[in-house]
């Protein structure tokens, strides 16, 4: 390989010289067009949530949260996430580990299975659960016999959420772990580290930020899922409503302020997620996988 | 991959072939397909055009607030679909902030197919932008310099050199946005108004059938949608293979 | 067309790439910009091309007496060849070469048949006419670079600029291609400037060599001149291998080790510390002293696999010395590791210690 030539710029950014950039007026027009487009489709809706929530004043806004059903919805959402995220974390770690480090029969099936929730509509995801556990479904009669309610009850919601958020952690970790290879772990083994210790010190340290990233995304989706839970939930106020479903109910009753108030909480969660995501990306760019195509 | 799933569906629904066709070919259902596919296509198309501009501007220019804007592009991704659904409806309904102007122009936004397109554009936005950004970033500056040294104007360079190089990625982004929009439920179901034969989307019909305990009917619709997703996934993979054809492994 | 640049300065942030550089390239010559990384050679080339803009306050850039500093790269009618070819991957070889012709303004654009003719003429020139329908990914590195060259020549530029054109190629291909470039230049006599860090390449191919270091020009001259009469210590050190002795100069003589050698060049200078440079092949080896200045040394290592024999000697004043002698001389001396031999410098070059660069 030839020696590198002298540095062309001191910034890491692309080198844009007179020859490779557009005249000023073109640039301005493009920026304006881009901002207007984003404004119409991105900024305005976000602002609208808060504007509507506060439309009748701060007091009315805060009162929406005193409502028992709203609190129940919030509680259910939190519980669901608290179950789904750790489970998927463990699943994701194990699956990524297995896929990255070993070759086994059925590996490709596992990979496809992991991508599945991404590729299909959330409604269809919910449909699968109904087909399996609903009254007329596969396990329906058996469940009815044992008086276990899954569909139209909390367990169904949790299961559906788990399914929908399954891929997030795994998808983050697989390319990361594949890229890192097994050498470091083998080295640790040779130096005498036990299994758990090796995992803790070597593997975990390497994937730390990818893991965090995956958890952030997983959590956001778990709390925000609507389509799938809508199918499996009984829509019973105060019992089987997550925050998103509660928003729907309030809105359909024309109780706009309350609806947007709950929505505003979810929006804040979304913004925090984005902020956390940006932070992790910025700080540890090199430790996250290079392929940043968005997940469906 | 999807064949086993479809098989699973059909079996559990225990339908005969004629029954299946009847459920799927119901005019209301067909109308929902048309809307789902059509609106998704248009929405993805809008994203392809404007998303390209956004990606270009974010990668190549600097302006105040760029970092913030870049982070916000992921918003449709992070925001729960129900929230975006009610937010968009609020804005685009007749006395909404933007709906107001549109009504003045005689255009109905919310509770019309147009509203559906708006919601689906929102949903697909990050897909085009985020797919394009790394590709644009990786474009070698040298080929643009080479084109310039050969006398090409900036527009010629764009049309003949940059755009063809980035086209496969753009199409991939388009396909991803399209696929996502097809399955979308939460953000559309509010703004569409769910008017039968006009603004009902396919996922909504699935839910309706389920509520009526018409498992078979719901499954039938789902199967058609799955088949479509499968085809799309195939196309996406083909696209990525095709774009790989031009990429050389190493230059030396 | 001749090229002249006057007082060019270029900084990138805090890094000064070029400091007040002026250069003249006579018409029809093939000139090499030679230097290590960071010397500013590529920056200079790109400024001539118009791909970079010199800092305000810099002087003119003249193509045949005409100041083109304000013109964009496209307007300067230069042919530029990049180190990594920069071929348009989605176009065939033919389309790549035809590109420059196809983007000409309507009025000047040649007809399809004309384009076809000219492209094939060029492809024949670079011996790739059979590959016209291939894509760059199907070609070897050497072939790709020839396509890049043909593409650059298609628009009939007045000046050809090449940025480390052979840097990405294997050693053997590099050799072939540089000879080929020289022959091409002899045929078409286009004023050409190429950048390289490979001194062998520069000395072998160019009509004139510009040695650069740290953003400035150290010396300009024919390959012979810069090699045998280096103007500065840097040039001496950079081109070819060299032995360095610390000594002093006094009254027209250079003193280093046990030696005192006549060196009239510094007759006028007062006594001062000096650095004495001797090239390995400028030493004579003898089994007995011959009366002239010489020192004793012991053979430490012998490398005889090559056109000359290279030896590492350890002098009796404690310095390691590299020498090079022709094969037959070596054999006639019957030397082996551990042998003692007398070494006499035939040609030295002295730079005074406070010689500022």
pTM: 0.81
Residues A84-99: pLDDT tens digits? Answer: 888 888 888 888 878 8
Contact A226 B185 (CB under 8 A): yes
Q: Which of B75, B182, B219 is nearest residue A131 as measured by Cβ atoms?
A: B219
**Residue C207 in this model has a pLDDT that exceeds 60:** yes
Residue in chain C lying closest to A2 (CA): C167
Letter string b/e over residues A180-206, b meaning 16 or more CB atoms within 10 A of that residue's CB? beeeebeebeeeebeeeebbeebbeeb
Q: Which of A44, A122, A267 is nearest residue B83 as measured by Cβ atoms?
A: A267
Q: What is the pLDDT of residue B51?
A: 92
Q: What is the pLDDT of residue A135?
A: 67
Residue with tokens 């009917």: B217
CA distance C340 to chain A (A): 40
Mean pLDDT calculated for residue range C172-192: 91
pLDDT interval class at B9 (50, 70, 90): low
Length of chain C equals 357
Q: Which region among A109-123, A227-241, B16-30, C235-249 has the lowest average model confidence (pLDDT)? A: B16-30
Residue from B43, B78, B154, B229 whose CB has the most chain A CBs within 10 Å, to mutate: B78
Domain ranges of chain B: 2-251
Q: What is the DSSP letter of A232?
A: H
Neighbours of B, requiring at least 3 CB pairs below 8 Å, are A, C
Neighbours of A, requiring at least 3 CB pairs below 8 Å, are B, C
Average pLDDT taken over every residue of chain B: 80
Q: What is the pLDDT of residue B115?
A: 85
Q: Which of A283, A116, A161 is nearest to A213 (CA)?
A: A283
Kindly give the pairing relationship between strand C78-81 and strand C159-163.
parallel
Q: Which of B148, B152, B246 is nearest residue C137 as measured by Cβ atoms?
A: B246
Chain C positions in Cβ-Cβ contact with residue A10 (cut-off 8 Å): 12-15
d(CA C260, CA B19): 111
Contact B149 C154 (CB under 8 A): no
**Residue A202 in this model has a pLDDT that exceeds 80:** no
Residues C23-44: pLDDT tens digits? Answer: 999 999 999 999 998 898 999 9
Residues B211-226: pLDDT tens digits? Answer: 777 777 777 778 778 7
Residue in chain C lying closest to B157 (CA): C103
Which of A162-166, B45-49, B186-190 has the highest average model confidence (pLDDT)? Answer: B45-49
Q: Would you state the structure tokens that stand for residue C110, as one six-digit string?
A: 């040649």
A7 contact C CB<8A: yes
Q: Which of B149, B153, B160 is nearest residue C80 as measured by Cβ atoms?
A: B149
Residue with tokens 């259910």: A76
Chain A positions in Cβ-Cβ contact with residue B98 (cut-off 8 Å): 40, 44
- Alpha helices in chain A, H assignment, sequence order: 24-38, 44-53, 58-63, 68-101, 107-119, 122-133, 140-145, 154-180, 183-190, 195-198, 204-224, 227-232, 243-252, 256-283
CA distance B40 to chain A (A): 13
pLDDT greater at residue C6 or residue A119: C6
What's chain C's Rg over C-alpha atoms? Answer: 25
Strand stretches in chain B, DSSP E = none
Average pLDDT taken over every residue of chain C: 89
Strand stretches in C168-294, DSSP E = 191-196, 208-213, 216-221, 243-250, 253-256, 259-262, 272-278, 283-286
Q: Which of B148, B189, B169 is nearest to B247 (CA)?
A: B169
pLDDT interval class at C202 (50, 70, 90): very high
Q: Would you state the structure tokens that stand for residue B173, as one six-digit string?
A: 């982004």
Q: Which of C12, C41, C73 is nearest residue A9 as measured by Cβ atoms?
A: C12
Residue from B142, B146, B171 whose CB has the most chain C CBs within 10 Å, to mutate: B146
Q: What is the pLDDT of residue C235?
A: 92
d(CA A116, CA A113): 5
In angstroms, what CA-CA distances link A69 with A65, B106, C73?
A: 9, 40, 69
- Alpha helices in B61-112, H assignment, sequence order: 66-72, 75-78, 81-92, 99-104
Residue from B43, B46, B52, B84 whose CB has the most chain A CBs within 10 Å, to mutate: B84
d(CA A73, CA A239): 8
C42 contact A CB<8A: yes
Mean pLDDT calculated for residue range C199-220: 93
Length of chain A equals 296
Q: Would you state the structure tokens that stand for residue B223, as one six-digit string?
A: 């199967």
Chain C positions in Cβ-Cβ contact with residue A2 (cut-off 8 Å): 83, 164, 167-168, 197
d(CA B78, CA B87): 14
Q: What is the pLDDT of residue A293?
A: 43
Residue from B15, B74, B80 whose CB has the most chain A CBs within 10 Å, to mutate: B80
Helix or strand or coil: residue C133? coil
Q: Would you state the structure tokens that stand for residue B136, as one six-digit string?
A: 């644009």
Q: What is the pLDDT of residue A4?
A: 38
**Residue B11 in this model has a pLDDT that exceeds 60:** no
| Type and span of the H or E element at B10 | helix B2-13
Letter string b/e over residues C115-137, b meaning 16 or more CB atoms within 10 A of that residue's CB? beebbeebbebbebbebbeebbe
**Residue A296 in this model has a pLDDT that exceeds 50:** no
pLDDT greater at residue C270 or residue C141: C141
Mean pLDDT calculated for residue range A199-213: 75
Quickly count: other Cβ atoms within 10 Å of residue C260's Cβ. Answer: 13
pLDDT interval class at A8 (50, 70, 90): very low
Contact A19 B148 (CB under 8 A): yes
C165 contact B CB<8A: no
**Residue A101 in this model has a pLDDT that exceeds 80:** no
Neighbours of C, requiring at least 3 CB pairs below 8 Å, are A, B
The answer for B 106-165 residues in CB contact with C (under 8 A) is 140, 142-143, 145-153, 156, 160-161, 164-165
C74 contact B CB<8A: yes
**Residue B252 in this model has a pLDDT that exceeds 50:** no
Q: Which region among A219-233, B132-146, C96-110, C343-357 has the lowest average model confidence (pLDDT)? A: C343-357
**Residue A177 in this model has a pLDDT that exceeds 80:** no
**Residue A295 in this model has a pLDDT that exceeds 60:** no
pLDDT interval class at A138 (50, 70, 90): low
Q: Which of C340, C264, C327 is nearest to C299 (CA)?
A: C340
Q: What is the pLDDT of residue A278?
A: 84
Residue from A1, A24, A42 whose CB has the most chain B CBs within 10 Å, to mutate: A42
Q: What is the pLDDT of residue A103?
A: 76
Q: What is the pLDDT of residue A111?
A: 76
In angstroms, what CA-CA distances link C174 with A11, A203, C81, C141, C205?
A: 32, 45, 15, 10, 12
Q: Which of B145, B153, B165 is nearest residue C51 as measured by Cβ atoms?
A: B145
Strand partners, C15: C12
Residues C286-336: pLDDT tens digits? Answer: 888 888 888 889 999 999 888 899 999 998 888 899 999 999 888 888 888
* Ramachandran angles phi, psi of B93, nearest 5°: -75, 175
Chain C positions in Cβ-Cβ contact with residue B153 (cut-off 8 Å): 74, 103
**Residue C208 in this model has a pLDDT that exceeds 90:** yes
Please state which CATH class domain B2-251 belongs to.
Answer: mainly alpha
A13 contact C CB<8A: no
pLDDT interval class at A13 (50, 70, 90): very low
Chain B positions in Cβ-Cβ contact with residue C104 (cut-off 8 Å): 151
Residues B78-102: pLDDT tens digits? Answer: 888 888 888 888 888 877 778 778 8
Report the complex ipTM: 0.81
Mean pLDDT calculated for residue range C216-234: 91
Q: What is the pLDDT of residue A76?
A: 85
Q: How many CB pairs below 8 Å do chains B and C form together?
A: 83
């Amino acid at each position: 390989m030839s020696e590198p030539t002298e540095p062309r710029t001191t910034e890491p950014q692309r080198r844009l010289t007179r020859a490779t950039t557009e005249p000023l007026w073109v640039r301005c027009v493009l920026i304006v067009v881009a901002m207007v487009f984003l404004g119409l489709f991105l900024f305005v809706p976000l602002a609208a949530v808060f504007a509507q929530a506060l439309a009748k004043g701060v007091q009315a806004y805060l009162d929406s949260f005193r409502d028992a059903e709203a609190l129940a919805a919030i509680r259910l959402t939190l519980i669901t996430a608290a179950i789904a995220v750790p489970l998927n974390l463990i699943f994701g770690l194990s699956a990524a580990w297995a896929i990255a480090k070993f070759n086994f029969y059925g590996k490709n099936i596992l990979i496809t299975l992991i991508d599945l929730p991404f590729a299909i509509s959330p409604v269809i995801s919910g449909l699968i659960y109904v087909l399996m556990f609903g009254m007329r479904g596969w396990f329906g009669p058996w469940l009815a016999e044992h008086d276990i309610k899954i569909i139209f009850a909390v367990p169904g919601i949790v299961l559906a959420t788990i399914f929908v958020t399954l891929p997030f952690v795994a998808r983050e970790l697989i390319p990361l772990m594949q890229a890192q290879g097994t050498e470091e772990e083998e080295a640790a083994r040779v130096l005498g580290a036990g299994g758990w210790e090796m995992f803790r010190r070597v593997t975990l340290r390497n994937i730390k930020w990818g893991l965090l990233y995956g958890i952030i995304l997983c959590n956001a989706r778990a709390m925000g899922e609507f389509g799938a839970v809508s199918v499996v939930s009984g829509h019973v106020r105060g019992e089987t409503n997550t925050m998103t479903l509660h928003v729907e109910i309030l809105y359909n009753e024309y109780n706009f302020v309350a609806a947007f108030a709950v929505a505003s909480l979810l929006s804040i969660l979304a913004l925090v997620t984005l902020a956390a995501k940006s932070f992790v990306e910025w700080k540890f760019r090199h430790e996250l996988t290079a392929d940043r195509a968005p997940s469906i | 991959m999807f064949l086993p799933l479809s098989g699973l569906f059909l079996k559990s629904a225990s339908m005969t072939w004629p029954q299946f066709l009847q459920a799927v070919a119901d005019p209301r259902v067909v109308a929902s397909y048309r809307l789902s596919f059509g609106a998704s296509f248009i929405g993805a198309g809008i994203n392809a055009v404007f998303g390209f501009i956004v990606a270009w501007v974010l990668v190549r220019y600097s302006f105040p607030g760029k970092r913030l804007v870049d982070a916000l592009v992921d918003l449709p991704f992070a925001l729960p679909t129900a929230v975006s659904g009610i937010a968009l409806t609020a804005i685009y309904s007749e006395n909404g902030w933007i709906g107001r102007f549109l009504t003045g122009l005689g255009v109905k936004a919310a509770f019309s197919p147009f509203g559906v397109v708006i919601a689906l554009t929102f949903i697909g936005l990050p897909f085009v932008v985020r797919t394009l950004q790394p590709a644009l970033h990786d474009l070698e500056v040298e080929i643009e310099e080479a084109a310039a040294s050969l006398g090409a104007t900036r527009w010629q360079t764009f049309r003949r050199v940059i755009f063809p190089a980035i086209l496969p990625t753009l199409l991939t982004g388009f396909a991803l946005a399209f696929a996502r929009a097809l399955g979308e439920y939460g953000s559309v179901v509010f703004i569409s108004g769910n008017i039968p034969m006009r603004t009902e989307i396919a996922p909504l019909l699935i839910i309706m059938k389920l509520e009526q305990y018409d498992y078979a009917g719901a499954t039938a619709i789902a199967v058609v949608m799955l088949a479509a997703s499968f085809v799309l996934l195939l196309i996406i993979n083909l696209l990525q293979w095709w774009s790989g054809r031009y990429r050389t492994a190493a230059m030396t | 067309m001749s090229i002249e640049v006057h007082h060019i300065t270029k900084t990138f942030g805090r890094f000064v790439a070029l400091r007040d550089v002026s250069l003249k390239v006579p018409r029809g010559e093939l000139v090499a910009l030679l230097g290590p990384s960071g010397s500013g050679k590529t920056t200079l080339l790109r400024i001539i091309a118009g791909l970079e803009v010199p800092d305000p306050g810099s002087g003119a850039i003249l193509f045949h007496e005409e100041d083109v500093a304000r013109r964009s790269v496209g307007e300067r009618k230069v042919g530029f060849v990049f180190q990594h070819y920069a071929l348009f991957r989605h176009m065939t070889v033919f389309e790549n070469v035809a590109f420059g012709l196809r983007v000409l303004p309507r009025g000047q654009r040649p007809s399809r048949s004309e384009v076809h003719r000219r492209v094939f003429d060029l492809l024949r020139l670079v011996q790739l006419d059979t590959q016209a329908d291939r894509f760059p990914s199907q070609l070897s590195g050497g072939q790709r670079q020839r396509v890049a060259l043909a593409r650059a020549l298609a628009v009939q530029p007045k000046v050809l600029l090449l940025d480390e054109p052979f840097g990405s190629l294997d050693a053997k291909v590099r050799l072939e291609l540089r000879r080929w470039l020289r022959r091409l230049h002899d045929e078409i006599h286009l004023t050409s400037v190429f950048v390289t860090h490979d001194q062998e390449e520069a000395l072998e191919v160019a009509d004139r060599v510009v040695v650069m270091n740290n953003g400035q020009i150290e010396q300009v001259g024919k390959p012979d001149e810069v090699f045998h009469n280096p103007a500065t210590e840097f040039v001496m050190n950079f081109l070819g291998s060299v032995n360095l002795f610390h000594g002093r100069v006094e009254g027209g003589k250079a003193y280093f080790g046990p030696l005192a050698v006549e060196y009239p060049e510094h007759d006028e200078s007062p006594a001062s510390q000096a650095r004495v440079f001797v090239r390995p092949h400028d030493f004579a080896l003898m089994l007995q002293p011959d009366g002239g200045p010489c020192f004793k040394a012991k053979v430490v290592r012998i490398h005889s696999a090559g056109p000359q024999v290279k030896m590492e000697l350890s002098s009796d004043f404690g310095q390691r010395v590299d020498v090079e002698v022709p094969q037959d001389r070596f054999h006639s001396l019957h030397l082996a590791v551990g042998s003692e031999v007398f070494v006499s410098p035939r040609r030295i070059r002295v730079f005074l210690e406070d010689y500022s660069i």
